Amino acid sequence: MALILSIETSTTVCSVALTDGEHILAKKKLIEDKSHASHLTILIQEILNTSGKQMSDVRAVAISEGPGSYTGLRIGVSTAKGLCYALDVPLIGVSTLKAMALEAKQSNEAATMFCPMIDARRMEVYTALYDAALEEQLSPCPMILDESSFHETLSDSNVLFFGNGSDKFKSIMNSSKASFIDDLTPSAWAVGLIASEKFESGQFEDLAYFEPSYLKEFQATTPKSLL
């Protein structure tokens, strides 16, 4: 087993955790917009203090690689890379959507399909689809939602939808096979549990070239005051 520090900054959530194999030693989560830059390192120090661990005890850093907020992901990845260089430990990238599916599965074992959704503005979301074993059935992708979305899947399976993008799908979906979790937000501990498996099999990222999984190009917007 190895002590892994995990970081989640893909949405408005700023979350960190320490895991050792399947054990969650410490975790912290702050749900506050634009809090990542000012609070991330503070939260990391807090979980180290809580667990009685030192930064030198960390054997790998896991990062929630996206999709999600461009700025949030950049801050998380930059911090994770800096720690890896300083500690001389490997970086492990974990899909934000798969980590969300793991979190949903732990409290909803009866569900057969898991569909995380991250808000991408208007009726668009970043989404993926996982079966009960968390095997990927639909690769992470941007999707514009309408009444026909996931029609074929819902004709055969019960699907659990969750994440901050699922609310707008709930408002247009009327299938009896669709259910929703209203308050699930990405958590670093789920990133850590998946990263533990990757650590054991040596699935590490290239520190020099690793980039977040944005799924879409960054689009700058003009401040309202200038419109």
Q: What is the mean pLDDT of the chain?
A: 92
Per-residue model confidence as pLDDT tens digits over 118-128 = 999 899 999 99
pLDDT tens-digit map of 166-177: 999 999 998 999
- 48 and 38 co-located in one domain: yes
User: Is residue 4 a contact partner of residue 68, using CB atoms and an 8 Å limit?
Assistant: no
**Gap between the Cα atoms of 117 and 126, Å rounded:** 6
Q: Is 87 left (phi over 0), alpha (psi -120 to 50) or beta?
A: alpha
Residue 217 has pLDDT above 90, yes or no: no
- The answer to whether 45 touches 37, Cβ cutoff 8 Å, is no
Are residues 91 and 191 both part of a single domain?
yes
Rg (CA), the chain: 18
Mean pLDDT of 126-131: 98
3-state class (DSSP) for residue 201: coil
CATH number at residue 111: 3.30.420.40
Q: Judge if pTM exceeds 0.95.
A: no
Domain residue limits at 128: 97-180
